Amino acid sequence: LGFTVRDRHGQVVFADNTFLTYRHDDIVVRAGETIVGRFAFQMPYLPTGDYGITVALATGNQAEHIKQHRVEDAIFFHVLSSHVAKGLMGIPMQSITMETVQELSA
């Protein structure tokens, strides 16, 4: 299972999938069963604008896979304000500090 977040220009802002987490575990889903994937992460700061999320299900690995189902722009969302200074996204900092230090004499 995977997702891709794109901006209004279609540029991929970020994406992820379950491959690395489950690469050593076979996940078998039988007809009539439901599979639920959850991704928990700190959302980056995005510039104000519109975004779409594409979701997909595939079998295989990162290099060789078969797309079983894909929904382009399954969800849209709008960012109203932003902390972004430069770039496509900002990093949610845990801490930013500054300090003075004494110069070491030779």
Neighbours of 46 (CB within 10 A): 20
Residue-level pLDDT at 27:
83
Structural domains in the chain, CATH included, are 2-79 (2.70.50.60)
Residue-level pLDDT at 100:
83
Cα gap 67→103, rounded to integer Å: 59
pLDDT in tens, 3-22: 999 999 999 999 999 998 98
Task: Identify the band that residue 85 occupies on the pLDDT scale cut at 50, 70 and 90.
Answer: low
Cα gap 48→79, rounded to integer Å: 5
pLDDT in tens, 16-63: 999 989 889 888 888 999 888 999 998 899 999 999 999 999 988 888
| Closest of 40, 57, 48, 41 to residue 7, by C-alpha | 48
Residue 68 DSSP SS3: strand
Mean pLDDT of 58-87: 88
